[in-house]
Structure 1
Amino acid sequence: MVTMQDVAKRASVSIATVSFVLSGAKPISAATRERVETAMRELGYRRNPVGAALARGRTNIIALLYPALQRPASGTVMGFFTSAAARAQERGFNLVLWPISNDAGEAAALARTGLVDGVLLMEVQMQDERVDALAPGTTPFALIGRTRAPEGLTYVDVDFETSMSEAIAALSELGHRDIAFITGNWDADHLEGHGAAERSHVRFLSEMSARGVTAPLVLHCPEDSLEGRRFGRELVEQHPEITALVLMNEHAGPGIVMGLRDAGARVPDDVSIISIGSSAHMAGMADPPLTFMRTPAEELGRLGVDAIIERIESADAERPAVLLACEMQPGESLAPPRATR
């Protein structure tokens, strides 16, 4: 194996000079750098980029922690991934997807390795133990999402409260009163108190209460298309009074539409649907295509990377708190309730 000593001997420089050329830790003249790099090429010396990065005290790697063991990635989540990776590359960083569980110990252990310059957390819970574990450390972190008390944290998030209010308003304007909120089976996936679902749930209840509905229906469906189909059939059988759904479950969405049809309920003639916090990819998989509220995933992915890089480059940088609401996108799943036509 070719060593740094071999390179130094071929280039007639010290080992320290070779090290400085590799790490960039000290300025080296152009002529000397050229001699060292020529020697490396001639000898077939292979750089160790990780070692060089650690020597500089900076790896230019950001870890995006997504609890893939608890929740499969949807089209919306992929929008976060791709936009964040592109933005990181634009700014001279590499984004690495770290698909571990939402275990606090694993997050803290990763931060302590020194392999990453910063950490971005996704699928944030209202009381997220990962935040508590990372806070005492020295590795900067930011959230795509927010906890129950996010003061003092760096985060970007979807404004699910405003988004839910707009969804209920759209259904109410059509004349719907018997509206159900359908979300994922979060507790079973060890994501209790998931921020997006919890905030949407609370706002759904308050909006329905403001319209005089004292016991609005909230149901949970596993995030799976086959389970969604079963769920749709059972919904018609058990709750025939429901005329509209606010759906926060991308994986089950198309299956729910098929299940409704299996049970004789047509969308939108019998049941209207708005998919909240969703993507065009999912909405287009349903028949008919769903009206949906687009998650600003691309925007928040970029903003999240900007936020963590600012923290990496300056510990005293301002800690942004950004909220963006979903945008209503037309589909073919809304109509007035049959009784009002």
Structure 2
Amino acid sequence: MQQVADRAGVSLGTVSFVVNGTKYVSPATTARVTAAMQELNFRNNVVARALASRRTRIIALLFPTAGDRFSATTSEFFMSAAERASQRDHHLVLWPVDPAGQDLDDLVSGGLVDGVILMEVRMDDPRVDVLSALDVPFTLIGRTRDSSGLPFVDIDFETTIEDSLDHLVGLGHRRFALVLEDLDGTPMAGYAPHLRAQATFAASTTRRRVHGTVIHSGQGSEGGRRAAAELLAADPAVTSVLIMKEDSSAGLLVGLYEAGLRVPTDVSVLSLASSAAAGDQHFPRLSTMVAPSRELGMRAADALIDQLDGTTGELPHLLLPCELRIADSTAEAPASR
């Protein structure tokens, strides 16, 4: 470090402040120190830095080990959070955890991470209770039943469902189906996004005086095909389907085609909380309520790091709706079926 100090023309203490982040150093001086470190191929010792600052500058994104839940949209959350953490001189690691939170104590009490971001939140999530009891800084990507006292960022599923129905009702549709993942009997039962979407869908279709059916799909393409058969059995006259299950969308389209229905001529299909890239992998290309994954990932990282830096004022409560991207799978309702 002395060589870095000599090269930058600063004291050894100033180099330590820059390396460990323990005291403010002006941007100009920081730039000189950083340049000297690069010229001398200086590599900061993470362990020594942690001992000096009492922080590892590592944060963990906790993801449930139950089932195959890591989708392309989930990856966007993780990558954007990791990029933001790096921009703020932190490292983010993806850490699979038990849905009941039984292994959180080992992660947190070992001092490996400074704080955590919790994803795939359930209405009554035991992991939140464990984290609160451990007194570790955390932020949610999602909401529990009552998140008023918790820091969170989340998709505004209520607004997303309303906007979806606005689009389809504007095209003349009056008979709707909502397809969600079947999580009954699994560790992810009570998954908050599904319950919020289903509750809003039921209330909105009732208020609008239109017909609404909810179908729960199994895993993958085969689950989507079966969901198509089930929804047509429940409502043969359905003209519009909202699906919130990325891995089953292709199977749903196949199932509708096998039933002799054309998308979007006979039935419109709208993908919820997914990405344009995922929608473009289907035929026809899916109209999509695009999830604000990148912004929420960045905001979650900011919310947690602000807590760690002691710069947080009020608890962050951020809700962002999905944005409609119209493609080839939604059209005017058929005159008759």
What TM-score range do you get, normalising by the shorter chain? 0.7 to 0.9
Deviation at 1:116, TM superposition (A): 0.2
Residue 93 to residue 178, structure 1, CA distance change in 2 (3 Å): same
| Residues 228-243 of structure 1 aligned to structure 2 (within 5 Å) | 228-243=224-239
Q: Secondary structure at the match of 2:193?
A: helix
> C-alpha deviations, 1:34-75, integer Å up to 9, x for none?
xxx9xxx9xxxx997346525642110000001142342111
Residue of 176, 199, 202 corresponding to 1:205: 202
Residue of 266, 271, 274 corresponding to 2:262: 266
1:145 aligns with 2:139: no
Residue of 129, 150, 162 corresponding to 2:159: 162
* Alignment check: 8 A CA contact 2:239 2:268 kept: yes
Q: Secondary structure at the match of 2:308?
A: helix
**2:146 alignment partner AA:** A
1:129 aligns with 2:138: no
Residue of 309, 312, 318 corresponding to 1:313: 309
> C-alpha deviations, 1:249-282, integer Å up to 9, x for none?
0010111111211221111111111111111122
Q: TM-score normalized by structure 2?
A: 0.83
* Alignment check: 8 A CA contact 1:85 1:94 kept: yes
User: Which whole-Å CA distance do the structure 2 matches of 1:338 and 1:227 have between them?
Assistant: 26
| Residues 11-22 of structure 1 aligned to structure 2 (within 5 Å) | none
User: Which whole-Å CA distance do the structure 2 matches of 1:225 and 1:63 have between them?
Assistant: 32
**2:215 alignment partner AA:** L
Residue of 93, 106, 111 corresponding to 1:109: 106
**1:285 alignment partner AA:** Q
1:327 aligns with 2:323: yes
> C-alpha deviations, 1:18-45, integer Å up to 9, x for none?
xx99x96999xxxxxxxxx9xxx9xxxx
Matching residue of 1:30: none
Deviation at 1:317, TM superposition (A): 3.9
> Please, which runs of 5 or more residues in structure 2 have no aligned partner?
1-15, 24-36
> C-alpha deviations, 1:201-240, integer Å up to 9, x for none?
1110011001224x73111102312321233244335532
User: Which whole-Å CA distance do the structure 1 matches of 2:283 and 2:159 have between them?
Assistant: 27
User: Which whole-Å CA distance do the structure 2 matches of 1:54 and 1:83 have between them?
Assistant: 28
Higher mean C-alpha deviation, range 105-114 or range 124-133? 105-114
Matching residue of 2:8: none
> Please, which runs of 5 or more residues in structure 1 have no aligned partner?
1-19, 28-36
Deviation at 1:103, TM superposition (A): 2.1
Deviation at 1:193, TM superposition (A): 1.7
**1:90 alignment partner AA:** Q
Residue 162 to residue 25, structure 1, CA distance change in 2 (3 Å): closer
User: Which whole-Å CA distance do the structure 1 matches of 2:82 and 2:251 have between them?
Assistant: 31
**2:196 alignment partner AA:** R
Moved over 6 A (4+): none
**1:335 alignment partner AA:** A
Q: TM-score normalized by structure 1?
A: 0.82
1:196 aligns with 2:193: yes
Identity of aligned residues (%): 40
Residue of 80, 84, 88 corresponding to 1:87: 84
Residue of 175, 192, 196 corresponding to 2:172: 175
Give aligned pairs, total.
305
Matching residue of 1:32: none
* Alignment check: 8 A CA contact 2:124 2:145 kept: yes
RMSD: 2.6
* Alignment check: 8 A CA contact 1:71 1:189 kept: no
Q: Secondary structure at the match of 2:136?
A: coil
Deviation at 1:191, TM superposition (A): 1.2
1:293 aligns with 2:298: no
> C-alpha deviations, 1:153-180, integer Å up to 9, x for none?
1110000000100101111111211101
User: Which whole-Å CA distance do the structure 2 matches of 1:86 and 1:75 have between them?
Assistant: 16
